[in-house]
Amino acid sequence: VFILAKKEILNAMRERDVISAIFTSVALGVLLVVMYILGIDQVGEVDAKLTLPIFLAMALFLGALLHCAMLGAAAIGSEGKKLWIFKSLPVKAKLVLKGKAVALIFLSIPSMLVILLPLPLIAGFPWAVTLFFVIMAIVLVLALTGMGLYVGALFVNFDDTNRGQPDFMVQFMIMS
């Protein structure tokens, strides 16, 4: 599994999707810190001490959705016409999918940390709250990786022009 995951990681680093997802995660982390520095801690009727944790939860969800679900949904379709090779390999398809899942999880760790850690450290969140967000990030990564691979296998798209991404309706279904 780990040899397949290493291959997937090397292939993913060559793709523009992973680089743009990492850039988006860094932007989300910076945005959260800028919101704290500018003092944006009251939005409408929401209590001020809940605003930053709510924004952090939304940013974690967006980061996991982008890294795990969207890239996972494209993981099978990106193989394109080479997918028939899986049938002739001595490796089972389930093992290949596990390798893809491990690669997605490994690639999402730095991006999720960039979103997760700066705001609680700068804003001085209690350790229990920070630990809750760490657990929430782990659950989001695992759940959305599984969902992305499942949706990618169910609605596979072999079009080479969009690098295996499912069509827009499937992407909206993932997001909702």
Query: 116 Cβ partners below 8 Å, 6+ apart?
Result: 56, 60, 133, 134, 137
Tokens of 17: 């999707």
Please tell me which residue, 86 or 11, carries the higher pLDDT value.
Answer: 11
pLDDT, residue 18, reads: 79
Q: Given a cut of 90, is residue 94 above it in pLDDT?
A: no
The predicted-structure confidence for 28-39, as pLDDT tens digits, reads as follows 999 999 988 888
Contacts 24+ apart (CB under 8 A), 126-134: 129/53, 133/53, 133/56, 133/57, 133/60
Handedness of CA 157, 159, 164, 165 (dihedral sign): negative
Q: Given a cut of 90, is residue 57 above it in pLDDT?
A: yes
Q: Region 93-110: what's the mean pLDDT?
A: 86
pLDDT, residue 40, reads: 77
% of residues, the chain, pLDDT over 90: 30
Is the distance from CB of 86 to CB of 96 less than 8 angstroms? Answer: yes
Q: Given a cut of 90, is residue 143 above it in pLDDT?
A: yes
Highest mean pLDDT, choosing among 51-55, 59-63, 78-82, 149-153: 59-63
Q: How confident is the model at residue 136 (pLDDT cuts 50, 70, 90)?
A: very high
Tokens of 102: 């491990």
The predicted-structure confidence for 109-128, as pLDDT tens digits, reads as follows 988 999 999 999 998 899 99
Q: Given a cut of 90, is residue 156 above it in pLDDT?
A: no
pTM of the model: 0.82
